Each structure stands twice: as structure tokens, then as C-alpha cells.
């Protein structure tokens, strides 16, 4: 990483442009490990690609067409982990894109903390992909073996010109959804006797609470810096970019740990 000469933007661009999934995850973790050597207060001089680098597989299909798999068989559990690995790969790019695309809009005094936080998210998502891919291999599955969907990056494209919109949708709606559903998946994996997979999901779940907390913090801080009401802005962003609203039921305990105000998401959730 010394070749970057304190250029955090180049490190993140390399993550975004990398097509090999394992290498992308490794670069994300390496960039985080080198964060102290970067001049994070500098505004970015590079711009993220319209679409991040991706391997040739998996094939992308509409979300409704992704088959459901039962967790009672190794094949079904491998398919579940594959779906989660695809989410984590997209999450690496979402975090890198967050920092590279929007750091120039953040007040100078906040920029270093903003970039560091999203590099932390990026690096941890890289670790999650690596853990999942390793466990998948033990079950005889490799990334690309199953079809997947591109819904996460669609959300990124829709909010490419709106920092607070991206924060509202990516961490505070989509990633918060993971807090709601992951405990159930962990329980089913344990019931199936797959403790190693359950342990991986537990690591991911614990980290994702922190990721939602980071997203909520920056949503609130940036709205307040702009003189905007965070609660009202959240409602407007959800109505614009995610009008279907967040799904119930909510894991209120995890959302509270993530400092996501209950009245914000309850106010936009369908009954």
C-alpha cells in the first residue's frame, strides 16, 4: 500500500475497479489496515466508476426470480451463504463508493472521520465476504455458482447524486433489514447443526449493528450541519428512493443498539 503515497482515493478506486471477488475483499481489508498512513482529510481527486468491477459470474437475475433454498441440506446452506456473500461483495463497493463519491461534499472538519468510518465499513464487509467464501468452499460452493440479483447496486445508482439519500437507503434501510433477519438465519443454521456457518453470521451481525450506527450518525450529523431536520429528511428520502418502506417485523433491540430512532422507521413502514 506504500505505493499510494497517502492517496486514500486511489486505494478505494482500486477496490471499486477490481473484478476478482476475493481480491476485492482483500484490497478492502488492506486499505483499512493502512488507513493511518493516508491523508484522510484530503478531498478526493478521483471519481468512482459508474459500475464497480465484477467477475463474469454469478449471472444476475431479478430479485423475485432468485430461488429459495431450504437450510436442511448442505446444498441449501451453501446457496444461502452464496446469497449473503453477494450482498457483502456489493456492500464493499457501496462503502468505498460512499467515501470516494461523497467525501468532497462533507465539511472539511468532518472529512477525515467520514472517510475513516466508511473505510472501516468497507474493510469489515471485505472480511465478511472472505469468511463466507471460505465457509462456502467447505460446503462445496464457490462464488458465482448460483444466480444473484443486482438490487443493492440499483439503490446506489438511484442515490448517486444525493449523499443523505444514500445514507438513508443503504445503511438505514437496506443494511438495517439485515439486523431484522439475521438472528432467524443464525437460529435455523444452529437447528440444522451448522455451527460454523452460524458463527460466521454472528460475526457479520455484530459488525452490521456498527455499520447501521455509522450510517445513522452521519445522516444526522450532515443534516444538522446543513440546518435540516434529520427526521423529516429521512422521511422525504425514503418516500423518494424507497417508497415501499422498510419491512416489518423489526429487530428493535438491534436497531436501538445501532441508534436508529424508532419513530423514524416506524413512520415510513407500511402497516
CA-CA-CA-CA torsion sign (223, 224, 226, 232): positive
Q: Maximum Cα–Cα distance for the chain, whole Å? A: 53
Nearest alpha carbon to residue 178 among 123, 269, 246, 94? 246
Flag whether pLDDT at 52 surpasses 80.
Answer: yes
- Cell numbers at residue 1, please? 500500500
Question: Which is more confident, 215 or 155?
Answer: 215
Looking at residue 63, its pLDDT comes to 77
What is the DSSP secondary structure assignment for residue 59, as one 8-state letter? Answer: P
DSSP 26-37: HHHHHHHHTGGG
Nearest alpha carbon to residue 1 among 15, 16, 17, 20? 15
State mean pLDDT over 163-173: 97
State mean pLDDT over 17-46: 96
State mean pLDDT over 201-215: 99
Q: Considering the domain boundaries, does residue 271 fall inside one?
A: no
Looking at residue 1, its pLDDT comes to 43
Alpha carbon separation from 163 to 55, 223, 237 (Å, rounded): 28, 10, 10
What is the DSSP secondary structure assignment for residue 81, as one 8-state letter? Answer: H
Instruction: Output the average pLDDT for the chain.
Output: 94
Question: Which is more confident, 70 or 225?
Answer: 225
Query: What is the tens place of the pLDDT at every residue in 101-140?
Result: 999 999 999 999 999 999 999 999 999 999 999 999 999 9
Q: Provide the number of structural domains found in the chain.
A: 1
Q: Considering the domain boundaries, does residue 220 fall inside one?
A: yes
Q: Helices H, strands E: what count in the chain?
A: 11, 0
Looking at residue 248, its pLDDT comes to 96
Give dist(CA 29, CA 17) in Å, integer: 15
Long-range contacts (CB closer than 8 Å, 24 or more residues apart) made by 154-158: 155/241, 155/242, 156/93, 156/94, 156/97, 157/50, 158/241
Looking at residue 150, its pLDDT comes to 76
Host H or E run for residue 87: helix 74-102
State mean pLDDT over 188-194: 96
Q: Considering the domain boundaries, does residue 257 fall inside one?
A: yes
pLDDT band of 151, cuts 50, 70, 90:
confident
Looking at residue 140, its pLDDT comes to 94
The domain containing residue 63 runs over which residues? 2-266
Flag whether pLDDT at 263 surpasses 80.
Answer: yes
Give dist(CA 152, CA 83) in Å, integer: 12
Query: What is the tens place of the pLDDT at every residue in 63-106?
Result: 777 777 778 888 899 999 999 999 999 999 999 999 999 999 99
pLDDT band of 2, cuts 50, 70, 90:
very low
CATH number at residue 91: 1.20.1260
Looking at residue 5, its pLDDT comes to 57
Give dist(CA 90, CA 131) in Å, integer: 15
- Cell numbers at residue 253, please? 433491540
Looking at residue 152, its pLDDT comes to 79
Amino acid at each position: 500500500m506504500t505505493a499510494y503515497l497517502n492517496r486514500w482515493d486511489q486505494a478505494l478506486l482500486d477496490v471499486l475497479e477490481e473484478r476478482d471477488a476475493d481480491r476485492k475483499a482483500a484490497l478492502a481489508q488492506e486499505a483499512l489496515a493502512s488507513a493511518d498512513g493516508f491523508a484522510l482529510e484530503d478531498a478526493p481527486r478521483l471519481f468512482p466508476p459508474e459500475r464497480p468491477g465484477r467477475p463474469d459470474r454469478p449471472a444476475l437475475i431479478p430479485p423475485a426470480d432468485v430461488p429459495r433454498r431450504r437450510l436442511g441440506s448442505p446444498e441449501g446452506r451453501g446457496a444461502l451463504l452464496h446469497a449473503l456473500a453477494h450482498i457483502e461483495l456489493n456492500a464493499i463497493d457501496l462503502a468505498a463508493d460512499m467515501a470516494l463519491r461523497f467525501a468532497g461534499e462533507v465539511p472539511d472538519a468532518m472529512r477525515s472521520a467520514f472517510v475513516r468510518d466508511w473505510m472501516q465499513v468497507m474493510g469489515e464487509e471485505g472480511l465478511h465476504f472472505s469468511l463466507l467464501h471460505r465457509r462456502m468452499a467447505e460446503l462445496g460452493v464457490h462464488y458465482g455458482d448460483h444466480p444473484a440479483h443486482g438490487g443493492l447496486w440499483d439503490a446506489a445508482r438511484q442515490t448517486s447524486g444525493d449523499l443523505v439519500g444514500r445514507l438513508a437507503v443503504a445503511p438505514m434501510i437496506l443494511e438495517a433489514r439485515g439486523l431484522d433477519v439475521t438472528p432467524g438465519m443464525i437460529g435455523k443454521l444452529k437447528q440444522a447443526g451448522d455451527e460454523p456457518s452460524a458463527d460466521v453470521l454472528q460475526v457479520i451481525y455484530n459488525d452490521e449493528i456498527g455499520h447501521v450506527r455509522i450510517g445513522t450518525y452521519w445522516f444526522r450529523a450532515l443534516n444538522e450541519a446543513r440546518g435540516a431536520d434529520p427526521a423529516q429528511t429521512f422521511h422525504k428520502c425514503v418516500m423518494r428512493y424507497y417508497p415501499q418502506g422498510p419491512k416489518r417485523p423489526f429487530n428493535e433491540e438491534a436497531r436501538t443498539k445501532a441508534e436508529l430512532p424508532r419513530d423514524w422507521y416506524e413512520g415510513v413502514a407500511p402497516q
